[in-house]
Amino acid sequence: MKITIFGTGYVGLVTGACLADVGHDVLCMDIDAGKIARLEAGEIPIFEPGLESMVQANVAAGRLAFTTDPAKAVAFGTLQFIAVGTPPDEDGSADLKYVLTVAETIGRHMDDYKVIVDKSTVPVGTADRVRDMVTKTLQARGEALDFDVCSNPEFLKEGAAIEDFTHGARIIVGTESERVQGLMRECYAPYIRRQEKLMFMEVRAAELTKYAANAMLATKISFMSEIANLAERLGADVEQVRRGIGSDPRIGYQFIYPGCGYGGSCFPKDVQALARTAADVDYRAELLTAVESVNQRQKQTLFAKLAQAFDGDLAGKTIALWGLAFKPNTDDMRDAPSRTLMEALWGAGARVQAYDPEAMKECRRLYGERDDLVLVGDRIQAVKGADALVICTEWKEFRTLDFAWLKQQLAMPVVVDGRNLFEPEIVKNAGLLYYAVGRGESL
Ligand code: UGA
């Protein structure tokens, strides 16, 4: 099958590479010529396990190609995936200008039947807006060509995107057209071992499914933040509570790990966008607003714990920071709890000495050179000469630690663990002051 993908960001590139990998002919289009040149040379702009080799193999096999030429891109595929960015507007709603520009491009260049597939996370009603834009553009050309628009939201997790694409829980397609259903079934046939994985539904339901899924997951995390904060004040261990509630299959063990708050490009943005959508239809989405504000508060708890440990005086202190990315296996720092912490520390006059296995370049890009940010090559150097250690991301390499050694390195024996990696008893027995999340110690 011939498939065009607009946008070579995270979603577009993973979709393009995975569809090429099962034998489709895929052309990825981007307006950024520099990015396309790098991709043609086999260079991947993002860190995602397995993606680089998959792109390179499929380019070599002639199934995956890149272009900046919109006419060529539109002519290529019957399926035209839109996978461009939808950055949040000032009011939290998703900005559709890139999506609608692609719709216009398709309307301008198409000369036979196309299925336009909305892959980007877009508000409910976007498929209708895309349809209107294509119709309007065709009319301006004096054409009345046949086309369809469907919604096919992505459910990729950064760091596990290829696995999620190839073995995801479901493939959602919002369309009522049998012709589109047939084409989308053909597109995803290599991935559908169980027929029920491919779900057809009305387009607005598909669009809302994407937001509802992320909002539900974010709600679980904010809920656990509340329970953790309560546990601290009540002298209970939230890790025991987590095991206790997770054993009920109606609750389940997934996504109930308390920590220093969720980050990334999806949950914060999507929860806000859904709340905004609700406001647009005059509905006050109280739960969504609370999920967001609980998370904002949770991201500040690491700083609060440090401030408590240092009696409110962090000026001139050096804080070792392990983990900058919003979660392991990515270099993404969008809305990362590490950023809330670093910015608060700088505000209080402290220095940060940080290490992350993948996100150092990104951190430098975000904050530039500054005296109060030292980026070091490994976790050992990060604690050298530091006053205290904070763990923000649960990278595998942080999960073992010689506590006696650590105690010797730190001027104050303070460890703030935003991911509950260790057993408090063991850390405390080594003479360290251990502040985890929801594990008994009250602020
Ligand atoms: C999320 C969803 O999990 C994907 O299904 C969805 O497709 C994607 O958003 C998207 O909309 O594109 P992602 O943002 O990559 O994926 O990351 P997650 O692995 O879901 O983690 C999100 C945040 O929640 C991280 O900061 C993580 O540390 C935090 N988290 C997760 C917790 O604090 N506790 C948990 O139990 C689980």
DSSP structure string for 180-226:
HHHHHHHHHGGG-SSGGGEEEE-HHHHHHHHHHHHHHHHHHHHHHHH
Mean pLDDT, range 303-320, rounded to an integer: 97
Q: Whose CA is nearest to atom 26 of ligand 1?
A: 262
Structure tokens at 140: 């301006």
Q: Whose CA is nearest to atom 16 of ligand 1?
A: 157
How many residues appear in the chain? 443
Active-site annotation holds for 392: no
CATH H superfamily, domain 2-201: NAD(P)-binding Rossmann-like Domain (3.40.50.720)
Q: What is the pLDDT of residues 218-272, one digit of tens each?
A: 999 999 999 999 999 999 999 999 999 999 999 999 999 999 999 998 999 999 9
- The yes-or-no verdict on residue 441 having pLDDT over 90 is no
- The yes-or-no verdict on residue 442 having pLDDT over 60 is no
Q: Which atom of ligand 1 is nearest to the CA of 270?
A: 11
The pLDDT assigned to 443 comes to 45
From its phi and psi, is residue 221 left (phi > 0), alpha (psi between -120 and 50) or beta?
alpha
Q: Which of 18, 266, 363, 392 is catalytic?
A: 266
Residue with tokens 């507007």: 89
| Average pLDDT of the residues of the chain | 96
More confident site: 416 or 87 = 416
Q: What is the pLDDT of residues 57-72, one digit of tens each?
A: 999 999 999 999 999 9
Say which DSSP state 194 is in.
Answer: S
Q: What is the pLDDT of residues 328-380, one digit of tens each?
A: 999 999 999 999 999 999 999 999 999 999 999 999 999 999 999 999 999 99
The pLDDT assigned to 91 comes to 78
CA distance 423 to 403: 11
CA distance 216 to 204: 18
Q: Does ligand 1 lie within 6 Å of residue 14's CB atom?
A: no
Q: Whose CA is nearest to atom 35 of ligand 1?
A: 255
Mutate which of 211, 217, 358 for ligand 1 pocket (most atoms within 8 A of beta carbon): 217
Q: Whose CA is nearest to atom 20 of ligand 1?
A: 157
CA of 326 to the centre of ligand 1 (A): 9
The pLDDT assigned to 387 comes to 98
Check whether domain 202-443 has CATH 3.20.20.150, yes or no: no
Domains 2-201 and 202-443 share a fold: yes
Strands, E, within 105-146: which ranges?
114-118
Residues with Cβ < 8 Å from 219, sequence gap 6 or more? 287, 291
- The yes-or-no verdict on residue 194 having pLDDT over 70 is no
CA of 267 to the centre of ligand 1 (A): 7
Residue ranges per structural domain of the chain: 2-201, 202-443
- The yes-or-no verdict on residue 412 having pLDDT over 90 is yes
CA distance 180 to 152: 11
CA of 209 to the centre of ligand 1 (A): 16
Percent of the chain at pLDDT above 90? 93
More confident site: 133 or 192 = 133
CA of 100 to the centre of ligand 1 (A): 27
Q: What is the pLDDT of residues 86-124, one digit of tens each?
A: 887 777 777 999 999 999 999 999 999 999 999 999 999
Is 0.80 surpassed by the pTM of this model?
A: yes
CA of 124 to the centre of ligand 1 (A): 21
- SS3 state of residue 191: helix
Evaluate whether ipTM surpasses 0.90.
yes
Q: Does ligand 1 lie within 6 Å of residue 326's CB atom?
A: yes
Q: Whose CA is nearest to atom 37 of ligand 1?
A: 255
The pLDDT assigned to 195 comes to 66
- SS3 state of residue 247: coil
